[in-house]
């Protein structure tokens, strides 16, 4: 393969050390040398003068499992500087999956990922049943970025228990069948085992995602099966009832790191996330590897009442879950249903996505011109003006428009002082882009550019070097990704060339490029000049290149 010489770049090597101006020589997909005095000629010379060069961003929390089967470019991540993505987070994988369970698996994903069933039906290429077969498909078809894949608990549970997976506790024999699948996946090269106990994660018909039915015995058995391989990360999105001390006991027994999502700051319970981080820090002092996934983006979601993700985790919302059409409209109009929701929102909770902050819910788009004056108004504003209850305002407006009104809610992580403390916490990892999921709700695939531009450059929460370390070396070490995450001789040439004076992400906008014409939200890069994966350029200053190479590698060999 031909060589590339980056001349006069401000090189951030990923260790957190201050940058140094110099040249970087790339050969055969790897960094050959870093510094001054390198050969003056190369097949291609990139005059970096004034621009910064860093290792590519490692996105440790994505859900590209389905999308990657029809879009090997995993848009929009490569254009946003991401060169490695970890898939299968929260355990929502499409492998393993028996052919008879495909429809059920897609229906579950529709609910948790914010993609229409039609998108998934037309989009997913099902050339596999087992996890090793899925990895073989990924390897065969290639991808624009490097991919590491968890084996997912909900997929494993559905494979063994079928329709019963979201309904009951598993028997001993079912648990041992699940263990065998986890062992087989680790042997094939899974990055670890992922699960969710979060009440926000519901599937088809409003049933919980299957992993939520696991008892502690099953959870422990599967983590221990993963650990037999001597490697692997145990990842979970934690419900309020899952204690850090239980997770610490799993880390202690298995000797494996535990990655805990989703640590987001809530204005109504501002201490909760710091209690979790303190408990994680205490566990680390006892020698147990726990790390908390935090986000550098405010959690803002667009939604309609056809799929109102922010409220679907409420106990009182249960009667509406899984309903469609007239049946759904009838429940939303029902007085006692609404009273139940109001009562729950008024009660205290350890963790809740939406907490009745009506001044943070806005009407984005109305379906009928008669309501257009409400666009950009908050529900609180409308309620005050009309002297009505805010829940009634939101539901009545939606009902009058066949549930097509688009709302946006600023849910969590909007207190910048608190988020800054979380981002700098020694036991946190900056993550949670959720790229590939919640496609119609939000898009944080540009989280890395946002960390560097907004938090480091604009707010000075951390140095640019430290922001880069948190996006590169730290996640590479957390997963044992050998030879990645640094600009160093012998390391893979996963590189991001950018302007440190302008780097950031654009505001979100809607595009209609999914299979079956489905829509998603996306963001563009600002200040990115080029992205290379294993020495091949996949994006430039205009974004993903036309016919960009599928330069990514499927990562299946991790350090212990
Ligand atoms: Zn997730």
Condensed to tens digits (0 to 9), the pLDDT of residues 140-180 reads 999 999 999 999 999 999 999 999 999 999 999 999 999 99
* pLDDT higher than 80, residue 376: yes
For the stretch 38-57, pLDDT in tens is 777 788 999 999 899 999 99
Assess whether the previous peptide bond of 262 is cis (omega < 30° from 0).
yes
In the numeric block, the tokens 């997909």 are attached to 29
β strands within 79-228, DSSP E: 82-87, 146-152, 192-196
What is the Å distance from ligand 1's center to 85 Cα? Answer: 13
What is the Å distance from ligand 1's center to 440 Cα? Answer: 15
Find, among 508, 365, 358, 353, the residue nearest to 442 by Cα: 508
What is the Å distance from ligand 1's center to 112 Cα? Answer: 9
DSSP category for residue 428: E
What is the Å distance from ligand 1's center to 353 Cα? Answer: 14
For the stretch 521-552, pLDDT in tens is 888 999 999 999 999 999 999 999 999 999 99
What is the Å distance from ligand 1's center to 150 Cα? Answer: 12
What is the Å distance from ligand 1's center to 43 Cα? Answer: 41
Q: How confident is the model at residue 206 (pLDDT cuts 50, 70, 90)?
A: confident
Average pLDDT over residues 361-380: 93
What is the Å distance from ligand 1's center to 103 Cα? Answer: 21
What is the Å distance from ligand 1's center to 392 Cα? Answer: 31
In the numeric block, the tokens 């595009």 are attached to 511
More confident of the two residues 379 and 313: 379
What is the Å distance from ligand 1's center to 210 Cα? Answer: 15
What is the Å distance from ligand 1's center to 332 Cα? Answer: 28
What is the Å distance from ligand 1's center to 492 Cα? Answer: 27
What is the Å distance from ligand 1's center to 202 Cα? Answer: 12
What is the Å distance from ligand 1's center to 435 Cα? Answer: 8
What mean pLDDT value characterizes the chain?
A: 94
Surface-to-core class of residue 202, CB atoms within 10 Å of its CB (0-12 exposed, 13-18 middle, 19+ buried): buried
- Tokens linked to 349: 């909770």
- Tokens linked to 173: 């024999």
Q: How confident is the model at residue 368 (pLDDT cuts 50, 70, 90)?
A: very high
What is the Å distance from ligand 1's center to 514 Cα? Answer: 20
- β-partners of residue 192 are 150, 233
- β-partners of residue 148 are 86
Q: Under 8 Å CB-to-CB from 406, ≥6 apart: which residues? A: 302, 303, 304, 363, 364, 365
For the stretch 296-350, pLDDT in tens is 999 888 899 998 988 998 999 999 998 999 999 999 999 999 999 999 999 988 7
Find, among 538, 512, 543, the residue nearest to 527 by Cα: 543
What is the Å distance from ligand 1's center to 277 Cα? Answer: 19
What is the Å distance from ligand 1's center to 167 Cα? Answer: 22
What is the Å distance from ligand 1's center to 89 Cα? Answer: 5
DSSP category for residue 158: H
What is the Å distance from ligand 1's center to 320 Cα? Answer: 23
- Tokens linked to 368: 């009928």
Q: What's residue 307's pLDDT?
A: 87
Find, among 356, 373, 447, the residue nearest to 409 by Cα: 356
What is the Å distance from ligand 1's center to 26 Cα? Answer: 34
Surface-to-core class of residue 28, CB atoms within 10 Å of its CB (0-12 exposed, 13-18 middle, 19+ buried): exposed
Q: What's residue 442's pLDDT?
A: 75
Q: Under 8 Å CB-to-CB from 506, ≥6 apart: which residues? A: 446, 523, 524, 525, 526
What is the Å distance from ligand 1's center to 233 Cα? Answer: 15
* pLDDT higher than 90, residue 379: yes
What is the Å distance from ligand 1's center to 230 Cα? Answer: 25
Q: What's residue 38's pLDDT?
A: 78
Overall pTM > 0.75: yes
For the stretch 392-410, pLDDT in tens is 999 999 999 999 999 999 8
What is the Å distance from ligand 1's center to 352 Cα? Answer: 16
- The helix (H) or strand (E) run that includes residue 44 is strand 44-47
What is the Å distance from ligand 1's center to 141 Cα? Answer: 24
More confident of the two residues 516 and 470: 470
509 — phi, psi (to 5°)? -145, 165
What is the Å distance from ligand 1's center to 334 Cα? Answer: 32
What is the Å distance from ligand 1's center to 197 Cα? Answer: 12
Q: How confident is the model at residue 517 (pLDDT cuts 50, 70, 90)?
A: confident
Where residue 380 falls (left for φ over 0; alpha for ψ -120 to 50; beta otherwise) is alpha
What is the Å distance from ligand 1's center to 436 Cα? Answer: 9
Whole-angstrom distance, CA of residue 65 vs CA of residue 71: 10
Q: What's residue 1's pLDDT?
A: 53
What is the Å distance from ligand 1's center to 337 Cα? Answer: 29
Find, among 262, 247, 279, 277, the residue nearest to 424 by Cα: 277
What is the Å distance from ligand 1's center to 441 Cα? Answer: 13
Q: Under 8 Å CB-to-CB from 485, ≥6 apart: which residues? A: 14, 55, 58, 472, 473, 474, 475, 476, 477, 491
For the stretch 493-512, pLDDT in tens is 999 999 999 999 988 788 88
What is the Å distance from ligand 1's center to 488 Cα? Answer: 31
Q: What's residue 41's pLDDT?
A: 79
What is the Å distance from ligand 1's center to 102 Cα? Answer: 20
What is the Å distance from ligand 1's center to 91 Cα? Answer: 8
What is the Å distance from ligand 1's center to 237 Cα? Answer: 7
Q: How confident is the model at residue 99 (pLDDT cuts 50, 70, 90)?
A: very high
What is the Å distance from ligand 1's center to 434 Cα? Answer: 5
What is the Å distance from ligand 1's center to 195 Cα? Answer: 10
What is the Å distance from ligand 1's center to 111 Cα? Answer: 13
- Tokens linked to 330: 């009838």
Q: What's residue 240's pLDDT?
A: 83
């Amino acid at each position: 393969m031909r060589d590339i010489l980056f001349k006069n770049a401000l090189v951030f090597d990923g260790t957190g050390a201050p940058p140094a101006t110099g040249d970087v020589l790339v050969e055969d997909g790897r960094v050959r040398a870093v510094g001054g005095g390198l050969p003056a000629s190369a097949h291609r010379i990139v005059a970096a003068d004034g621009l910064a060069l860093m290792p590519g961003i490692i996105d440790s929390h994505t859900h590209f499992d389905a999308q990657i089967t029809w879009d090997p470019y995993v848009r929009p991540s490569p254009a946003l500087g991401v060169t490695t993505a970890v898939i299968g987070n929260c355990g929502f994988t499409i492998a393993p999956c028996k052919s008879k369970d495909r429809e059920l698996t897609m229906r579950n994903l529709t609910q948790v990922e914010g993609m229409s069933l039609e998108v998934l039906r037309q989009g997913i290429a099902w050339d596999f049943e087992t996890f090793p077969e899925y990895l073989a498909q990924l390897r065969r078809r290639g991808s624009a970025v490097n991919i590491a894949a968890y084996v997912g608990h909900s997929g494993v549970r559905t494979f063994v228990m079928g329709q019963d997976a979201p309904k009951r506790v598993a028997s001993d024999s079912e648990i041992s069948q699940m263990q065998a699948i986890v062992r087989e996946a680790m042997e094939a090269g899974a990055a670890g085992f992922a699960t969710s106990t979060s009440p926000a994660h519901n599937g088809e018909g409003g049933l919980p995602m299957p992993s939520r039915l696991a008892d502690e015995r099953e959870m422990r058995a599967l983590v221990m099966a993963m650990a037999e391989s001597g490697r692997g990360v145990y990842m979970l999105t934690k419900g309020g009832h899952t204690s850090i001390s239980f997770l610490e006991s799993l880390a202690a027994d298995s000797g494996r790191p535990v990655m805990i999502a989703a640590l987001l700051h809530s204005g109504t319970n501002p201490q909760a996330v710091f209690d979790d981080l303190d408990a994680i820090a205490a566990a680390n002092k006892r020698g147990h590897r726990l790390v908390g996934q935090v986000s550098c983006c405010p959690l803002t979601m667009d939604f309609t009442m056809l799929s109102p993700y922010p409220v679907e985790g409420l106990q009182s919302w249960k009667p509406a879950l899984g309903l469609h059409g007239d049946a759904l409209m009838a429940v939303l109009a029902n007085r006692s249903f609404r009273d139940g929701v109001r009562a729950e929102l008024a009660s205290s909770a350890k963790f809740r996505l939406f907490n009745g902050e009506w001044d943070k819910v806005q009407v984005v788009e109305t379906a009928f011109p008669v309501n257009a004056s409400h666009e950009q108004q908050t529900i609180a504003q409308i309620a005050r003006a009309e002297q009505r209850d805010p829940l009634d305002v939101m539901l009545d407006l939606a009902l009058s428009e066949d549930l097509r009104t688009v709302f946006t809610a600023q849910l969590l992580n909007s207190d910048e002082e608190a988020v800054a403390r979380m981002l700098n916490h020694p036991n946190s990892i900056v993550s949670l882009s959720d790229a590939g999921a919640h496609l119609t709700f939000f898009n944080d695939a540009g989280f890395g550019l946002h960390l560097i531009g907004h938090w480091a450059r604009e707010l000075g929460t951390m140095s640019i070097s430290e922001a880069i370390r948190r996006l590169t070396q730290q996640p590479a070490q957390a997963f044992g990704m050998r030879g990645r995450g640094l600009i160093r001789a012998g390391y893979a040439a996963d590189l991001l060339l950018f302007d440190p004076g302008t780097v950031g992400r654009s505001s979100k906008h809607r595009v209609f490029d999914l299979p079956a014409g489905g829509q998603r939200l996306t963001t563009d890069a600002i200040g990115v000049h080029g992205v290379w994966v294993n020495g091949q350029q996949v994006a430039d200053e205009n974004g993903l290149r036309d016919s960009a190479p599928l330069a990514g590698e499927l990562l299946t060999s991790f350090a212990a």
